[in-house]
Structure 1
Amino acid sequence: MKKLFFSFFILLSTLNFSQTKLFTVEDVIFGTSRKPQPFRQLSWIPNSDSYSWIDGQTENQVLLSSNIKSTKVDTIISIKEINENLKSLADKPIVNLFINWISKNELSFWNGANYYSFNTKSKLLTKVNSTNNNAEEKFVSPNNKLIAYTVGNNLFFSKEAGKEIQITFEKDTNIVNGQAVHRNEFGINSGIFWSPNSNYIAFYRMDQTMVTDYPLVDITPTPAKLKNIKYPMAGQTSHQVTIGIYDTRNGKTVWLKTGEPLDQYLTCLTWQPDEKYFYVAHLNRDQNHMQLKKYDVSNGELVKILFEETNDKYVEPQNELVFLPNSNDKFIWQSQRDGFNHLYLYDTEGNLIKQITKGNWVVTQFNGFDEKAKNIFITSTKESPIERHLYKVNLVSGEITKLTKDSGTHSAIPNFNNNYFIDSYSNLTTPRVVNLINTKGDIVKNILTLENPFKEYKMPETKIFTIKNEEGIDLYCRMILPTDFDSTKKYPVIVYVYGGPHAQEVNNIFGMGRYFTWFYLMAQKGFIIFTLDNRGSANRGLEFEQATFRKLGTIEIKDQITGVNYLKKLKFVDENRFGVYGWSYGGFMTTSLMLRTNNTFKVGACGGAVIDWKYYEVMYGERYMDTPQTNPEGYNESSLLNYVQNLNGKLLLVHGTSDPTVVWQNTLSFVKKAQELNKPLDYFPYVGHSHGVTGKDAIHLYYKITNYFLENL
């Protein structure tokens, strides 16, 4: 048996404090680990080896600094001082201090529509610029003087305080400028892109006039009001996107000639450092053919296609180009073309100079160059899929040097010349450690070792290990044992599942936040909490991720049952008491496991569940399922409406009535089918909430979920 399911095993338990405090649902929502942590907004001060952070709460917030070679802590400014200065400028006080460093002696912050700079030497506060009071999507230019922003569906530009210049003039609100497009897929999180020297603003224009409306209802007024959103569902007409380049000096806009098909995806928008050319990754609607194109900024003409990438399933460009320092003709491109996300060095004629990184591991972040651009720094899974470490990679030799030494999940912030890094990490037994390290990986200074936030609580033991599925693939698992665990007893199991793309649940981290605190609460109540990352989840390579293509739910179920079968062989597991909980894709998985595993699970609870992928949006849905027209078998197999008759256990579905991500139609359709088949179903709508339940209503949600398992499992 041991050979069957163990290929790798690590056992790390949480810190063994002899404390007896028990978790409550209130702890889950507002508890210790969810309170503001020390060293907030930790960042380097430009062109120095000093760093700053925010300390204190509310009116006692202060901006502090220290140096890498000193133990002295200096106060730069307090929120009280800022508010005194704002008072003299006839502006309202700020409530929270959020700063951004401009230079060694200058920082900036927003106060409503006003943008300020503060000189740390002269102590002078200056109002740099301002926007319309209704401005959204505000982006400050690289020279920290100009602001691009949106009001409604149009794009504006502020040259100086009080001088607003309108760039677009769309009267139809279904045509949107300066906002994120393609429903924030492909790494897109904004719609405004300043040029390096602040001369141009590139922006998205999204025409949604051809997309059908989807109704959301607001019941707070009398009578209730209809709010339509644009929600292109899989196989239906999608929106059309173009890209404008606005010249801030002459007020003219040039439109890139991105051509047809009009429902293509445009992503990875990147400026060449000299501002002469602009780069766009074009992805066809089938998402299996990408072309990286170079455009002339002066006239919008296509200069050339640099290279193309194809895949029989999908190509997923996520990252903009990164130009080498002081270079206008060499850049780094990220791609999964060899099966794992790696870095490639290209010139701007489209010639591949070399593949920089290679191996059966994933680059998760590009961290920058060293001072002479001879080495790059990356974060990757090279050590282990469940860990993240910082590495130095020589651009010429390809030699890779691991810089972070302690096991766990590391996140690194380089200083201005990348001679030092702020290295923040945690692991199963370490809540949070922040060190300053050099390019050899040596710890120069420890600036934080966080006290265990759960030191007063009776904590369960946590294990991370792997099991093999029938194909011999290692699947990473996490098991949280009940407190006061007794191996001679039998315990019920709650499987927490997500299981979908772009997510990895099992990591070597110290578990904090809402989900983990709920896991600990349920462990105190006598449940085993088990999680397995099935095929289709992230950071294991393209073959692992694409295994679910065109048949979402099928392969994932198979892997999850591998986990269940492993658990059933453990003497301390009650094989008749399995429950499952998840949200969003995890809601889809929860419902799938309740309906498609021959009554393996006795109880399920989930929120925001996708029930039928034909109700999901175009970009995500078609990437992983193709369209209902081209893949009817796959849509039919994954649709949970076809399995409602199999519901024999207890299932609780909850859904936000204003959910714009997984629309309410999903679970309402399931309820209707359950009614038709006379199948008992527990259902609760969270009125007015979107894809998650927040605020005081979250207390209600977690009491409901907790009690559901206590009463039924």
Structure 2
Amino acid sequence: MKKYFILTAALLVSLTGIAQTTLTLQDAVLNGRKYYPQGLILPQWVPGSDSYSHVVDGYQSLVVVDAKSGEETGRITAGEINETLEGVEVFGRRPNSDRTEVSIRGTWMLKWLDENTLYFTEEGTLYTYDIINKTTSAQYTMAAGHSNLHLNSQLNAAYTVGNNVFVNWMGEESTVQVTKHQDPDVVAGQAIARSEFGITEGLFWNESGDAIAFYEKNESAVSNYPLLDIESTPGSLREIKYPMAGQGSEYARVGVLHKGKKKAVYLETDGIEHDQYLTNLSWSPDGKTIVLAIVNRAQNNYDVVAFNAKNGKRGTTLFSVSNDKWAEPEFPAYWVSNKEFVWLSERDGFMNLYLYNTKGALVRQLTNNQFVATGIVGRSKSGDILFTATGEDPRESHLFSVSLKGKQKQLTTESGVHSPTVQDGGSYFITSYSSVNTP
């Protein structure tokens, strides 16, 4: 793979001076931040460039740095943006009209849309900031009480209000309510299966941003479980749904809404079993296919199944994984094209990477490591897969690359736990790390 330029963000505190002075209790308790390692705060790659940004000045400034030279090329402050917010309207009216002033609290809220545009949300309204013309525009206001916000690269928003899914399309004033469940046992747009099997969210945009898939669960067969609320005086009990071994479980579905459609379609996920787990959802790059890993209730088998994203029809079972004791998919398919994807599996005893095609054939095993891969983080400019793994020392975490032919390279060499921020499709990455000798 092409050479990577490594930016290391954690070699920032010299302990020589500290070692010569005994810390007092006052230093340890009141001045702890004085000895805290100071790395890059909230680094982001600027799309379409070889620059990155990070937050400085107590979260009040965003600095842009050229990765090759290391020189600062721009700086945006919260104060500058707040000056542009005065009088901003969304579709001809002031957003949050009950407030006399809208302002951002710091540059930690800012995300890059492209090389010249930042975006942020404040009080339920999405704003974009043009760094060339130094102007802010309000795009739309989301429904009150929203949570679980997912913005895609086109700045369409999907989120939940209560147990239902809502969408705001960029350039459109109205908010679309995707589901209209009134039964408190039916929950849409949130993580299911108690966040097992690598499930961390319930909303999934396709790559082009014109369709949203979402999990939905019916918990009517699940018993209530009492929890003690200690925040009230005296303490009180509140109930949650919690499935117990051998008892009723939730029934899960996957819905899909395409832009311009009034109703979501649901994938035909019911196969041999109704009582199952729908896990690790992913979209093909062209948005035509959704792949799920469907785990049986006994959790000793899962099928990787392709579905037609337009009509929900169940397609091919690409492959199955079985184990006498335990079968647990933890990562969604990572697509390298519309015809091939990478799957992570522990079938040989360690988490390794496997390249499959959409006919279900194993093209090749990409890695054959005797240590654990912990996730795919992107691709390089040359098309290599970038992934994190422990390396030979299970106490550590490193960044690796592997080509689609199976040629592997370790990209981080300093001993420790590395947290890389990868320029996806580029030639750079930022890594912050800590070890026994480097805090």
Q: Residue in 2 aligned with 1:49? A: 50
Q: Residue in 2 aligned with 1:88? A: 87
| Local SS of the residue matching 1:88 | coil
Q: Residue in 2 aligned with 1:404? A: 412
Determine whether 1:291 maps to 2:330: no
Aligned-residue offset at 1:230? 0.9
Aligned-residue offset at 1:209? 1.2
Letter of the structure 1 residue corresponding to residue 67 of structure 2? I
Aligned-residue offset at 1:395? 2.1
Determine whether 1:126 maps to 2:137: yes
| Local SS of the residue matching 2:310 | coil
Alignment of 1:164-243 (within 5 A): 164-218=175-229, 226-243=237-254
Alignment of 1:376-415 (within 5 A): 376-396=385-405, 398-415=406-423
| Local SS of the residue matching 2:149 | strand
Among 368, 378, 382, which residue is 1:368 paired with? 378
Letter of the structure 1 residue corresponding to residue 386 of structure 2? F
* Post-superposition CA distance 1:359-384 (Å, at most 9, x none): 211212323222242x3222222332
Q: Residue in 2 aligned with 1:675? A: none
Aligned-residue offset at 1:44? 1.2
Change in Cα spacing, 1:233 to 1:31, as seen in structure 2 (3 Å) is farther
Alignment of 1:48-447 (within 5 A): 48-57=49-58, 61-89=60-88, 91-97=101-107, 98-144=109-155, 146-159=156-169, 160=171, 162-218=173-229, 226-260=237-271, 261-324=273-336, 327-373=337-383, 375-396=384-405, 398-431=406-439
Distance 1:367 1:193 in 2: 17
* Post-superposition CA distance 1:421-459 (Å, at most 9, x none): 11222221112xxxxxxxxxxxxxxxxxxxxxxxxxxxx
Q: Considering fraction of residues, name the structure with more strand.
A: 2
The answer to whether the 8 A contact 1:112-1:133 is kept is: no
Letter of the structure 2 residue corresponding to residue 77 of structure 1? I
Aligned-residue offset at 1:32? 2.7
Q: Considering fraction of residues, name the structure with more helix.
A: 1
Aligned-residue offset at 1:216? 2.9
Letter of the structure 2 residue corresponding to residue 67 of structure 1? D
Letter of the structure 2 residue corresponding to residue 265 of structure 1? Y
Letter of the structure 2 residue corresponding to residue 287 of structure 1? Q
The answer to whether the 8 A contact 1:281-1:293 is kept is: yes
Larger Rg: 1
The answer to whether the 8 A contact 1:62-1:75 is kept is: no
Return 265-274 or 419-428, whichever deviates more.
419-428
Q: Residue in 2 aligned with 1:20? A: 22
Distance 1:75 1:369 in 2: 27
The answer to whether the 8 A contact 2:415-2:435 is kept is: yes
* Post-superposition CA distance 1:60-82 (Å, at most 9, x none): x1000111233432443111122
| Local SS of the residue matching 2:245 | coil
* Post-superposition CA distance 1:244-278 (Å, at most 9, x none): 11122122211111115232111110111111111
Aligned-residue offset at 1:91? 4.7
* Post-superposition CA distance 1:632-679 (Å, at most 9, x none): xxxxxxxxxxxxxxxxxxxxxxxxxxxxxxxxxxxxxxxxxxxxxxxx
Alignment of 1:442-481 (within 5 A): none
TM-score (norm 2): 0.87
Distance 1:68 1:162 in 2: 39
The answer to whether the 8 A contact 1:269-1:281 is kept is: yes
CA RMSD of aligned residues (A): 2.4
| Local SS of the residue matching 1:430 | coil
* Post-superposition CA distance 1:547-606 (Å, at most 9, x none): xxxxxxxxxxxxxxxxxxxxxxxxxxxxxxxxxxxxxxxxxxxxxxxxxxxxxxxxxxxx
Distance 1:37 1:91 in 2: 34
Letter of the structure 2 residue corresponding to residue 421 of structure 1? F
| Local SS of the residue matching 1:183 | helix
Q: Residue in 1 aligned with 2:12? A: none
| Local SS of the residue matching 2:399 | strand
Distance 1:381 1:328 in 2: 30
Distance 1:188 1:132 in 2: 25
Q: Residue in 1 aligned with 2:8? A: none
Distance 2:238 2:260 in 1: 39
Unpaired segments ≥5 residues, structure 2: 1-14, 89-99
Distance 1:410 1:242 in 2: 37
The answer to whether the 8 A contact 2:373-2:389 is kept is: yes
Q: Residue in 2 aligned with 1:549? A: none
* Post-superposition CA distance 1:72-100 (Å, at most 9, x none): 32443111122222233365222233222
Distance 2:231 2:323 in 1: 48
Aligned-residue offset at 1:320? 0.9
Return 406-415 or 116-125, whichever deviates more.
406-415
- Number of aligned positions between the proteins: 410
Distance 2:260 2:434 in 1: 48
The answer to whether the 8 A contact 1:47-1:416 is kept is: no
